[in-house]
Amino acid sequence: MAVALPKDLRQDASLAKRRHAELCRQKRIFNARNRIIGGDTEAWDVQVHDQKIKEATEKARHETFAAEMRQNDKIMCILENRIKRDRKNLCKAISDFQQSFQKPETRREFDLSDPLALKKDLPARQSDNDIRNTISGMQKFMGEDLNFHERKKFQEEQNREWSLQQQREWKNARAEQKCAGNLDSFLSLHFSTTFPPLQHSRSEKKKKKKEVTTVVNHSVAIESVERKKQEKKQEQEDNLTEITNLLRGDLLSENPQQAASSFGPHRVVPDRWKGMTQEQLEQIRLVQKQQVQEKLRLQEEKHQRDLDWDRRRIQGARAALLFERQQRRQQRDLRRALDSSNLSLAKEQRLQKKYMNEVYTNQPTGDYFTQFNTGSR
């Protein structure tokens, strides 16, 4: 049986160490992620671990805060319920106090909102002599008294009595008139037979009185006719004077001075203004002609300006077209030069490839490529 010497042990340990280092190196090199990114995974693992610890700490802190918030919410809910209960008790106590000591009937303005106000209210008037029946209250009009039916019945009885009394008086008057007529006939017959001269004198007096009345009425009629003529003549003269004044006045003569306003010479009185004078119209026409000429001049200037801008735009477009043609020509020349340069380069590459194919005749096989990535060196 062979005995392991210390030297062999050291060599085996060294060989194992180198193998382990080689394996670690291959692990680092053949790992495409570490080779491409080129980062320190161990430091990253430490950072990830620290980040997880930090997140756990933050989560614990947030959970603590959440627990405190839930506790505070519970306390707030208890306080709110207590406040609501106290407020409810206070409102109940106030309501009981109001129902016991502050009834609506004891309020000063209860009569404005009393639901039984119409039942408790007195009628519009209790009698025709009620003190509430003022003139402005309009509760009592002619024929609207409370004893209307009794009054109407009394008035009908009174009218009937008056009618009967008038009939009796009319019958008495007819009887008295008939007696007086009989007496006059009797006296006339007696006087005609007894006193004919007296009757003749009475007839003469009546005739003279009638003639005097006729003369007076005739003079009064003549005077009335003359007075009407004078009044008609005066009315015609007044009308003629009024027409003359209107014709000669400022209203119909269209005097421009009568429409002048006291607030300034540039203002007029609308209800007196009869229009502008010929001078004012001529001035307005002159200003209008000047405005038309000015407008024509501005239109001509605008037309000339538009023509100038059109000419400049056409010149700019022509210059841009010429510049674009020149650029196309230059690009075509550059492309031709580039094509000729590419042809020469392609020719050189073909010649070089042909030369390389003639010099390097040993072509690599698959075994040549499989020997890579088998070691870390």
pLDDT exceeds cutoff 60 at 195: no
Per DSSP, the chain holds a count of helices (H) and strands (E) of: 9, 0
Share above pLDDT 70 across residues of the chain, in percent, rounded to a whole number: 86
pLDDT exceeds cutoff 60 at 65: yes
Compute the chain's Rg from CA coordinates: 70
Whether 259 contacts 268, CB under 8 Å: yes
- Amino acid at the residue 182: N
pLDDT exceeds cutoff 60 at 138: yes
pLDDT of residue 110: 82
pTM over 0.75: no
| Joined tokens for residue 313 | 């735009």
Q: How far is CA 242 from the centre of its chain?
A: 57
What does the alpha-carbon distance between residue 46 and residue 39 come to, in Å, rounded to a whole number? 13
Candidates 249, 300, 238, 303; CA nearest to 272 is 249
Q: What are phi and psi of 245, to 5 degrees?
A: -65, -40
pLDDT exceeds cutoff 60 at 3: no
| Joined tokens for residue 375 | 């070691």
Question: What is the average pLDDT value for the chain, to the nearest integer?
Answer: 82
What does the alpha-carbon distance between residue 230 and residue 235 come to, in Å, rounded to a whole number? 9
| Joined tokens for residue 366 | 């698959």
| Joined tokens for residue 262 | 């006291």
Confidence bin at 1 (pLDDT 50/70/90): very low
| Joined tokens for residue 37 | 């990114």
pLDDT exceeds cutoff 80 at 85: yes
pLDDT of residue 287: 93
What does the alpha-carbon distance between residue 105 and residue 109 come to, in Å, rounded to a whole number? 9
Confidence bin at 5 (pLDDT 50/70/90): low
Helix (H, G, I), strand (E, B) or coil at 268: strand
